[in-house]
Structure 1
Amino acid sequence: MKETLARNIGRYRKERGFTQEELAQKLGLSFQAVSKWENAQSMPDIALLPALSQTLQVSIEKLLGYLSYDKPVTVYEEKYRTPEYIWGTEPNEACFRVLQLMPPTRHVKLLDIGCGEGKDAVFFARNGYDVTAFDITDAGIEKTKRLAEQAGVNVNVLKADVLDFRLDSHFDVLFSSGVLHYIKPELRDEIFGNYKRFTRPNGLHVLNAFVHKPFIAPPPENETNAYLWRSGELPGHYEDWYLYESSEVVFDCNSSGVPHQHAMTKLIARNMAV
C-alpha cells in the first residue's frame, strides 16, 4: 500500500499543478514530508487523509488504490449486463498478428488493457499465453471469467481504471483495443512511459486508438470521459521502437444502434532494447 499511495500522491499532485512545496503549504507541513510520502519513505498520518483528499480532489479510496465510483464511468457497464456478448466472441484480427510476431513457443506474459467482455484475452489464453487482463466494468469482468471458464483456460482478470493502473512487473506483450481514448491527454506521456519501461526486450505493443477527424461526427454515445487522439500521436510515443505497423483507418460502426463512423490509428511496435 505504501508504494501505491506514494505513486498516487505524486500523480494527483502533478495533475493539480502543485509543487511538493505548494502541497505542503496547503497542508501546513514541510515539503520534506511530502517528498518522503512520494518516495515511500513514510506515509501521511491517517488524520491528514481527508485534507489531502480534498486538496488533491480525489477520494481517499482512490488515493489508497481502491476503485470506488458513485456511478458508472463508462456506458459499457450497462451494455455488458446483457447475456449476449455485444462484441461477439471472435478475436480481433490484431490477435493473429501477435500470434505471428510472438508465438507462445516459450512462456509469454501478455496484458490485455481494457479487456471488455474478454474475447481477445480468452483467445490468447486458449493459444498458450499467460494472460492478465483488466477492465473497469464489473459486468465485463464477470463475462470474461465466464468465457474463460467455458473455454477451460485461466485468465487473471482484475478490476482497474486505465487512468490509474500502472505496471510494476514486466510483460512480453501489451495488447489493447478500443480503450486508449479514455486516457486523458495530460497523462499519456507518463502512462506510456510506464508501459514501455515494463515491457521486456523484444516485447510487443499491439494497440489502437480512436483519432479525431473533422469530417467524422462525434459518436452517438457522447462519453464525457473520452478523449480522441490526434493523428500521429500514438506512434509518436514509439520513436525509439521498431514499428511494424502505423496506419489509420475509417470504419463504419453500429454499436449504439445508430450507424456512425470512427477513425482509428493502429500500431504494432517492438522493443528493440537489449
Structure 2
Amino acid sequence: MLKEQLARNISIYRKEKGLTQEELAHILGLSFQAVSKWENAQTMPDISLLPLLSQTLEVSIDKLLGYVTQDKPITIYEEEYKSPNYYWGTEPNADCYKVLQLMPPTKRLKLLDVGCGEGKDAVFFARNGYEVSAFDVSDAGIEKTKRLADQVGVHVNVFKADLLDYRLDTHYDIIFSSGVLHYIKPEYRNEIFDNYKQFTNENGMHVFNVFVQKPFIAPPPEKEPNAYKWYSGELLKHYHDWLIQDSAEIVFDCNSSGIPHKHAMTTIAAQKILTPLG
C-alpha cells in the first residue's frame, strides 16, 4: 500500500510542477526509467533521495508518503469546526433521503461519505442501518463526527484524509458526497472519479452534489482559496457509462457567512450496472 501511495503521489506532484519524468530524473541525477519505475510502483526511491525529491516537488516527505499534514487550512471552515456548536447543524442534507429512497439498507450496505465535515450525514446514514465509513481533512471535523456518533449510539469508521491524495482500495456499495467536490482540482477529476467508480460494487450507487457557476448568480461572499469551478453537465459526463437514476440543478439561498447569498448546485444519483438490463 505504501509503495502504491508513494507512486501515485510522485506522479501527481510531478505533473503539478509541470515536470516530465525525464526532467525530474535529471534533477535527481537518475535515469528516467528509475522515475518511471517509481510511478508504476515497481520500485521505491532510496531513502536518501526523499529530501531532494520533497524539495523538488515542493511537498513534505510525510505528504509524499501519504500522511496527511497541514501547514495551512484547506477549507475556510476548519476554524469554525473547532467551536463546540455544529456549524452546519445536525440535520442531514436532503440528498441523504435520496440514498434511502434509491438504495434502502434492506441488506448490509457499505457506504463512504467523502468529506464528511462535522459528520451530520455520516451519522444519519449509520442511524438508518448503513455500514458507514467517512473521511475529512479537518481534525476538528473528525472529532465532532465521533462525538455526534457517540451521542446517538452508532458507529462511524471516520478517518483523516485529503480528498486530493486519498484513493480507494476497498469496495463500497454507496459513495456519497455533499458540498465537497469543488475542492477537487480539474486535472485530478478524471483520476478520482475513475477510482471511485472502480471501487464501487455492481449495482452500487454514487450520490453527489457540486456547486456550479452561473452567470446570473453572484460569486459567494466566502473567499475559498482552494475551491475550483464546476460547470453544468460536467459532473454528469463522468457517468455516461452508468445508469442515471436522478439528476437535477437547483438554486438555493444560503447564509453560511452571515451574508445572504445564493448558490447553484448540480445533484446526481448514478448506478453502476454491469449486466444487461432485461
- 1:18 paired residue number: 19
Could you list the per-position Cα deviations for residues 220-269 of structure 1 after superposition, in whole angstroms to 9, with x for gaps in the alignment?
Answer: 11111101201110001111111112211111100011111111001110
CA distance in 1, matches of 2:117, 2:253: 20
Find the counterpart in structure 2 of residue 99 from structure 1.
100
Q: Deviations over 1:161-220 (max 9, x none)?
A: 111111111111000000000001111111111111111110100000000112212211
Give the 3-state SS of the residue equivalent to 2:228 in structure 1.
Answer: coil
Counterpart position of 1:238: 239
- Matched residue, 1:62: 63
Q: What are the residue-to-residue correspondences of 1:44-63 with 2, within 5 Å?
A: 44-63=45-64
Aligned to 2:228: 227
Unaligned runs of 5+ in 2: none
What is the distance in 1 between the residues matched to 2:265 and 2:19?
34
Q: Which residue of 2 aligns with 1:161?
A: 162
- Identical positions, percent: 72
Give a deviation string over 1:116-142, Cα, whole Å, max 9, x none: 110110011111111000111111111
Aligned mates of 2:233, 2:224 — CA distance in 1:
23
Matched, 1:32 2:33: yes
Match of 1:75 in 2: 76
In 2: Cα distance, 1:271 partner to 1:260 partner? 36
Kindly provide the amino acid, as one letter, of the partner of residue 178 in structure 1. Answer: G
Offset of 1:153 from its aligned partner? Answer: 0.8
The equivalences for 1:1-274 within 5 A come to 1-274=2-275
Task: Please state how far the C-alpha of 1:112 moved relative to its aligned partner.
Answer: 0.2
Worse-superposed segment, 118-127 or 96-105? 96-105
In the alignment, the residues of structure 2 paired with residue 250 and residue 105 of structure 1 have an alpha-carbon distance, to the nearest angstrom, of 33
Report the residue type matching 1:260 in the other structure: H
* 1:74 partner SS: coil
Could you tell me how far apart the structure 1 residues matched to 2:197 and 2:101 are? Answer: 21
- CA distance in structure 1 between the aligned counterparts of 2:191 and 2:40, rounded to whole angstroms: 17
- Residues 101 and 227 of structure 1: is their aligned pair in 2 closer, same or farther, counting only changes over 3 Å? same
Per-residue deviation, 1:54: 2.0
Q: Tell me the CA shift for residue 101 of structure 1.
A: 1.4
Aligned length: 274
Displacement, 1:41?
2.2
Structure 2 CA distance for aligned equivalents of residues 252 and 153 of structure 1? 32
Structure 1 gap segments, 5+ residues each: none
Structure 2 counterpart SS, 1:153: coil
Mapped to 2, the partners of 1:246 and 1:128 lie a distance apart of 25
Partner of 1:80, secondary structure, is helix
Post-superposition offset of 1:76: 1.0
**Equivalent-residue separation in structure 2 for 1:135 and 1:245 (angstroms):** 26
Q: Partners of 2:101 and 2:247 in 1: how far apart?
A: 17
- The offset of 1:31, in angstroms, is 1.6
Question: TM-score, normalization: structure 1?
Answer: 0.97
RMSD: 1.2
**Structure 1 counterpart of 2:23, one-letter code:** E
Distance 1:264 1:178 in 2: 9
- CA distance in 1: counterparts of 2:268 and 2:117, whole angstroms: 20
